[in-house]
């Protein structure tokens, strides 16, 4: 995976071309966003943190978006565990530290916020780590779903706890509840290919 650190845009700086496309997944529609340098974002389209598409260009043939779509399809199908698409998320230097650390977590490997804080050299900064994890703009590919509580509790996820439970099950960690305090009951066989969850998407309103 190529991780390109992109600083926040400065006032007066010329706008860059940003493209997007939507793709279906077993857990609902996702929106993929890219710059000319790499994948800028991947959100489920019902996420509150999904930015507005103002200024973005719909492009179904962009090679970066197509690579991301193909790799995500392969991941869900159990044909891929790592991603090769170039990443170009926008964030602060601290957020980039945390997101890079997330990228070192292998398929099925979980880490607590405290463990992640130690990895980035801020052993007392678990709360700040949680904030950066929560602002991860590239779901699944930057695997913030692999971060759990020190007691293995499910904690939170921007895409919703039912999705986090399903993603972790796909990678071999079983949770019987979608409560943020639910603890892992099994660390075993990954569900490959992706096993459809026992709920419908989009969730009933």
Q: Return the active site residues.
A: 144
Q: Is 13 within a domain?
A: no
pLDDT on residue 105? 95
What is the number of domains present in the chain?
A: 2
Rounded to two decimals, what is the model's pTM? 0.89
Cα 104 from chain centroid (whole Å): 13
Does residue 102 share a domain with residue 71? Answer: no
Q: Angle CA(166)–CA(69)–CA(198) in degrees, nearest 5?
A: 20
Does residue 165 share a domain with residue 119? Answer: yes
Does residue 69 share a domain with residue 102? Answer: no
pLDDT tens for the chain, residues 1 to 205: 576 766 555 544 557 899 999 999 999 999 999 999 999 999 999 999 999 999 999 999 999 999 999 999 999 999 999 999 999 999 999 999 999 999 999 999 999 999 999 988 887 888 889 999 999 999 999 999 999 999 999 999 999 999 999 999 999 999 988 999 999 998 777 878 888 776 555 554 4
Q: Is 68 within a domain?
A: yes
Q: Angle CA(77)–CA(83)–CA(86) in degrees, nearest 5?
A: 140
Does residue 167 share a domain with residue 137? Answer: yes
Q: Is 85 within a domain?
A: no
Per-residue pLDDT reduced to its tens digit, 8-50: 555 445 578 999 999 999 999 999 999 999 999 999 999 999 9
Helix, strand, coil shares of the chain, percent, nearest 5, are 25, 15, 60
- State which residues form the domain around 30: 18-77
């Amino acid at each position: 995976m190529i991780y390109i650190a992109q600083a926040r845009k400065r006032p007066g700086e010329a706008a860059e071309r940003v493209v997007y496309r939507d793709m279906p997944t077993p857990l609902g529609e996702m929106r993929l966003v890219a710059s000319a340098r790499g994948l800028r974002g991947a959100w489920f389209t019902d996420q509150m943190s999904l930015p507005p598409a103002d200024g973005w260009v719909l492009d179904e043939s962009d090679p970066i978006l197509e690579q991301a779509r193909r790799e995500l399809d392969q991941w869900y199908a159990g044909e891929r565990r790592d991603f090769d698409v170039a990443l170009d998320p926008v964030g602060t230097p601290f957020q980039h530290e945390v997101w890079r650390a997330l990228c070192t977590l292998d398929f099925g490997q979980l880490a607590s916020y405290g463990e992640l804080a130690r990895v980035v050299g801020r052993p007392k900064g678990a709360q700040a780590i949680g904030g950066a994890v929560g602002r991860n703009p590239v779901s699944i590919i930057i695997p913030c779903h692999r971060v759990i509580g020190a007691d293995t509790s499910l904690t939170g996820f921007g895409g919703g706890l039912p999705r986090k439970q399903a993603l972790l099950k796909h990678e071999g960690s079983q949770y019987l509840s979608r409560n943020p305090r639910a603890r892992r009951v099994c660390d075993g066989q990954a569900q490959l290919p992706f096993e459809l969850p026992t709920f419908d998407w989009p969730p009933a309103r």
